[in-house]
Amino acid sequence: DLHNVRTLVRGIVGKRISAEIVNSTIPLGSFTSAELEELSQAGTVQALVSTLVTWGVPFGDILRKAVKGRGLEEEILAFEVALDGAYFPWVGESAMSVKGGEDLVEALSAEVDLRNMITLLKLARQGAEADQSMPMIVGGGGLTDRQLAELAAATDLKGALDIVARTRYSVALSGIEIASARQVAGVEREVERLLMRNFSKLFRKDPLGFCTILGYLWRRHAEYTDLRLVAHGLAFGLPMSSVRSQLVNS
């Protein structure tokens, strides 16, 4: 659902026709094909959100408050931050009512941390000030408010990486020379590798429980990421040695 709402918003903002938008969605969420087609014809982000609220989508009301009075057709990033900020806390709270849900919450928390770190590292590389970076933070992660504030205040990539090196993700930076780091993509890949190794081990925790599904999904996510990188490399004629260095399962 999260992916599909993002796709719908981007399609509406990009003035794409309904059929193109629907073809870009994934028919695996709670929305039916007919509902996706109706949403794709919303015309504006505000109309899309109003429909979601009418249908009783759990995080729809939060999104309605986020878009109120804002021209989000020109602020798609702000909408996506609002979407993430509504979705992750909601699904985390829902997961706690399921046996083994704490493992799902931990996985979601790590996903939020990765998103926040990469966003703030990119902003730091651009020299953004804290008041520009703080609104881009999504709640529900494991990084403390102080760590996030320090990352948001960093005005260069090295300074931001020094802060990451003092978090629980420091081991992911062990193979990166912080002093000469220039690419955020390398950091993102190392953190993804760390998370994939950690959560793939859930297979061993409870083979008959929820953990098996989580471990499987993380391994599938790694495969999907690698296939996407290979396809990107082939499309742009990148050296295979460069593509190989970015693979999660390298």
Percent above pLDDT 90 for the chain: 20
Sequence-distant (≥ 6) Cβ neighbours of residue 71 within 8 angstroms: none
**In the prediction, which pLDDT does 73 show?**
47
Sequence-distant (≥ 6) Cβ neighbours of residue 174 within 8 angstroms: none
**In the prediction, which pLDDT does 70 show?**
55
How far from chain centre, in Å, is Cα 178? 24
Encode pLDDT of 95-151 as tens digits.
Answer: 888 777 888 888 889 889 988 998 888 888 888 888 888 988 988 889 999 999 999
Residue 182: pLDDT band (50, 70, 90) is low
**In the prediction, which pLDDT does 250 show?**
65
**In the prediction, which pLDDT does 212 show?**
81
Cα(167)–Cα(188) distance, integer angstroms: 15
> Exposure pattern of 143-171 as b/e (b: 16+ CB <10 Å)?
beeebbebbbbbbebeebbebbeebebee
Residue 176: pLDDT band (50, 70, 90) is low
Percent above pLDDT 70 for the chain: 92
**What is the mean pLDDT of the segment spanning 6-15?**
88
Angle subtended at Cα 79 by Cα 107 and Cα 139, rounded to the nearest 5 degrees: 35
pTM (predicted TM-score): 0.75
Find, among 175, 235, 234, the residue nearest to 244 by Cα.
234
**What is the mean pLDDT of the segment spanning 15-31?**
89
**In the prediction, which pLDDT does 102 show?**
83
Find, among 116, 22, 13, the residue nearest to 70 by Cα.
13
Radius of gyration of the chain measured on its C-alpha atoms = 19
Find, among 190, 186, 211, the residue nearest to 199 by Cα.
211
